[in-house]
Structure 1
Amino acid sequence: MAMSSLWWTAILLLALTVSMCNGIPTYQDFLQRHLDIPRTPDSNDNSYCNVMMMRRGMSFPGRCKTLNTFVHTEPADLTTVCTNQPDDSLCTTQQHFPVTVCKLIRSHPTCTYFGNRFNHRVRVKCVGDLPVHLDSTFP
């Protein structure tokens, strides 16, 4: 009996791990990938992107995320746009925020990025009144 219970617990944990690894976005993922407040100081925007992409786990030798945007504002500024919105809706801020857009320019031997700063509105995907995916930014 105990062995059967242990078996089902292991299966449940495996299923949970697989679902978490299958790209189901969460608010914590969103914060990790897209928020940097205050903006991490660096000598220039390119260096900022190279450091931040590696620090946040989006660039490894041979595996580089091609594009990522960091938003430099408090989390509450982005969660308010999701308040009382249906799950999976795309919501756009009325306010403009400082952002840094990092674009991959070389992937070998290491990931190298070109960075650009903008003051943009932000469009996010909302689930459970929280942003879980940064869809785009624009003037």
Structure 2
Amino acid sequence: MSYAVMFLLLLLDLIKFSYAQTFWTLLHIDYPKSDAPGSSNQYCNVMIGWRKVPMFGACKPVHTFIHENTTSIANLCSIPPKPCGKSQVQLCHESPSPINVTDCFAKSGFRPPTCQYLENSESRKIQVICKDGQPIFLKNKLILPQVENSTQT
């Protein structure tokens, strides 16, 4: 096997690891739930900043943090998948029971880096998309509420 082919295979493996690592450490898993400094309703503002959630020029409309241990989340990939999403082409693995999550909803009128969020903590079933036995994407079925720019949080 040529060095170029070996390099490309190594690169593909690193990319696969990167998606799973991003899911675990940066974007969605916060177990146990972190204490955010400030008032109790600052969790989303603080966590989205700490985790450097990608914005791509606009505040992310909704972001979810999962408050469950990594073993439980990884085990979701062993549950037989079923079609999910509008097109029903994607396959998702759904949690068999509700999981504690915090959903963060962007307030209108803000732009990065000063995004502001409202939060909603609840227990509900979640769906993940897996690749090679690892979750790489959280499928959000949430309907975005109309969140206006407000001084109330």
Q: Which structure is higher in RCO with an 8 Å CA cutoff and minimum separation 6? A: 1
Q: How many pairs does the alignment contain?
A: 123
Q: CA RMSD, aligned part only?
A: 3.2
Q: Show the counterpart of 2:119.
A: 115
Question: What SS does structure 2 have at the residue aligned with 1:41?
Answer: coil
Q: Show the counterpart of 1:83.
A: 78
Q: Tell me if the contact between 2:59 and 2:112 (Cα under 8 Å) persists in the aligned partners.
A: no
Per the TM alignment, residue 83 of structure 1 is displaced from its structure 2 partner at its CA by: 1.9
Q: Show the counterpart of 2:60.
A: 65
Per the TM alignment, residue 66 of structure 1 is displaced from its structure 2 partner at its CA by: 1.8
Q: Show the counterpart of 1:34.
A: 28
Over 4 Å off, 4+ runs? none
TM-score, length basis structure 1: 0.72
Q: Show the counterpart of 1:136.
A: 140
Q: 1:83 to 1:59 in 2, by over 3 A?
A: closer
- 2:114 maps to 1:104: no
Which deviations, in whole Å up to 9, do the C-alpha atoms of 1:44-99 show, x marking residues without a partner?
23x10000001111267x5422211000010111111102757x631100121110
Q: Tell me if the contact between 2:58 and 2:112 (Cα under 8 Å) persists in the aligned partners.
A: no
Greater helix share, structure number? 1
- 2:48 maps to 1:53: yes
Per the TM alignment, residue 107 of structure 1 is displaced from its structure 2 partner at its CA by: 2.2
Name which of 41, 44, 59 aligns with 2:40: 44
Per the TM alignment, residue 119 of structure 1 is displaced from its structure 2 partner at its CA by: 0.6
Q: Tell me if the contact between 1:35 and 1:71 (Cα under 8 Å) persists in the aligned partners.
A: yes
* Higher Rg of the two aligned structures: 1
Question: What SS does structure 2 have at the residue aligned with 1:26?
Answer: helix
Distance in 2, Cα, partners of 1:84 & 1:97: 15
- Name the aligned partner's letter for residue 34 of structure 1: H
Q: Tell me if the contact between 1:25 and 1:132 (Cα under 8 Å) persists in the aligned partners.
A: no
Per the TM alignment, residue 111 of structure 1 is displaced from its structure 2 partner at its CA by: 0.7
Q: 1:28 to 1:91 in 2, by over 3 A?
A: same
Identity score, percent:
28
Q: Tell me if the contact between 1:83 and 1:129 (Cα under 8 Å) persists in the aligned partners.
A: yes
